Amino acid sequence: MKKKTIILGIETSCDETAAALIEENSGQIPTILSSIVSSQVNVHKKFGGVVPELAARSHIEKIDLIVKKAIDESGKKIEDIDAIAATAGPGLIVCLSVGLNFGKAFASSLIKPFMAVNHLEGHALSPKLTTKLEYPYLLLLISGGHSQFLSVQGLGKYKRLGTTIDDAVGEAFDKTAKLLGIEFPGGPYLEKYAEKGNPERFILPKPILNKGGCNLSFAGLKTAVLRVSKEIKNKKDKYDLAASFQKTIEIILNKKTEIAFKEYKKINKNKNNIFVVAGGVASNKKIRKVLTDLCFKENFKPIFPPLDLCSDNAAMIAMVGLEKFKIKNFDNFDHPAKPRWPLDKNAIFLKGAGVKL
């Protein structure tokens, strides 16, 4: 019997050191043989955010152990690995360099192909680890560093329909959580606070809701939360602000997704309407519910990766590696780490103060 392809994925773009082995399955959904994620939350907690130097040091301390654990838990041997895929960007350069260089050195020593992977493409293809998914599809990528609508035409083929012009959704969640005194990273806890509060208590702004197509903006919302947070006196106030913030995000994402559906249909006429939501914020249960309801209304098929594949992991990096491996799209050992690496290289850079829509 022909040996099935096995890919080792490595991820160190931010504050998670991760390694995973996946096995191809004759064109069906691949099998995740192992997926190890070592979070650095405790390293960064007291600083209220990721400290790049400490993150890089922590990756260096752990990368070999995490890769070994992933191989051990997979039940396979080092010789069974057919190729190595490592995240090369976007992310913190000092962090990216650790996994990227480890991956190159490992591939070189095993004399196996090496593939440099775009972290965002990892999120984009993450549902393929659990669902049969054909191109094209509409992707909403919502994470700590990115918020974008993309038409995914194929491997490496993306058309950006909309993006944030300032903060990412995850960033807005984390900053709001910080103002409420919730420990870093606050996003998941903020969701829990919100469940106990009154979403109608505070009226918060919804920047560019009715202009700028499906582009997004969260900076004004953050400023408003800062203002309101100064009036917070007790736990109930905190729950109410969390609930009002969560509700505001739901309204923004609902409206912008509606616009994105229209734009997607214009460029993908007569195709299956599939809507994938990926990235850390896609684990938010209420956001999943609101966007699922919208899909049913608008005749789109919703696909959300399971929670452990929404946040950063290396199985999604191995998934991109597997697709690249199938078409022999290998990279050289001089492939650089890329702190900025947009999926749609033709899309104009919109982020930053003073952007006019």
Quick count: other Cβ atoms within 10 Å of Cβ 223? 12
187 binds, among ligand KG4, Zn ion, none (CB under 5 to 8 A by kind): ligand KG4
Quick count: other Cβ atoms within 10 Å of Cβ 26? 7
The helix (run of H) or strand (run of E) holding residue 158 is: strand 157-163
Between 103 and 170, CB nearer to Zn ion: 170
Coil, helix or strand at residue 148: strand
284 binds, among Zn ion, ligand KG4, none (CB under 5 to 8 A by kind): ligand KG4
191 binds, among ligand KG4, Zn ion, none (CB under 5 to 8 A by kind): ligand KG4
268 binds, among ligand KG4, Zn ion, none (CB under 5 to 8 A by kind): none
Between 5 and 126, CB nearer to Zn ion: 126
DSSP state of 346: T
Residues near ligand KG4 (CB under 6 A): 14, 143-145, 170, 173-174, 185, 187-188, 191, 279-281, 283-284, 311-312
170 binds, among ligand KG4, Zn ion, none (CB under 5 to 8 A by kind): ligand KG4
DSSP string, 244-260: HHHHHHHHHHHHHHHHH
Between 107 and 141, CB nearer to ligand KG4: 141
Between 72 and 195, CB nearer to ligand KG4: 195
Helix, strand and coil in the chain, % to nearest 5: 45, 20, 35
281 binds, among ligand KG4, Zn ion, none (CB under 5 to 8 A by kind): ligand KG4
Residues near Zn ion (CB under 5 A): 143, 312
Between 168 and 259, CB nearer to Zn ion: 168
Least distance to ligand KG4 from the beta carbon of 156, Å? Answer: 19
Let me know how many helices (H) and strands (E) the chain has, helices first.
Answer: 11, 10
DSSP string, 3-39: PPPEEEEEE-SSSEEEEEEEEEETTEEEEEEEEEEEE
264 binds, among ligand KG4, Zn ion, none (CB under 5 to 8 A by kind): none
283 binds, among ligand KG4, Zn ion, none (CB under 5 to 8 A by kind): ligand KG4
DSSP string, 171-217: HHHHHHHHHTTPPSS-HHHHHHHHHTS-TTSS----TTTTSSTT-B-
Least distance to Zn ion from the beta carbon of 148, Å? Answer: 12
Between 107 and 182, CB nearer to ligand KG4: 182
Least distance to Zn ion from the beta carbon of 228, Å? Answer: 29
Least distance to ligand KG4 from the beta carbon of 177, Å? Answer: 7
DSSP string, 254-293: HHHHHHHHHHHHHHSTTS--EEEEESGGGG-HHHHHHHHH
Residue with tokens 């959904």: 29
Residue 202 tokens, joined: 């505070």
Least distance to ligand KG4 from the beta carbon of 173, Å? Answer: 4
Least distance to Zn ion from the beta carbon of 119, Å? Answer: 6
Between 5 and 147, CB nearer to ligand KG4: 147
Residues 216, 164: contact at Cβ < 8 Å?
A: yes
**Diameter over CA atoms, the chain:** 68
State the Cα–Cα distance between residues 26 and 322, nearest whole angstrom: 12
Least distance to Zn ion from the beta carbon of 96, Å? Answer: 12
Between 174 and 240, CB nearer to ligand KG4: 174
Least distance to ligand KG4 from the beta carbon of 283, Å? Answer: 4
State the Cα–Cα distance between residues 336 and 165, nearest whole angstrom: 27
Least distance to ligand KG4 from the beta carbon of 13, Å? Answer: 7
Between 35 and 268, CB nearer to ligand KG4: 35
Cβ burial, residue 28 (10 Å; 0-12/13-18/19+)? exposed
Residue 8 tokens, joined: 């080792």
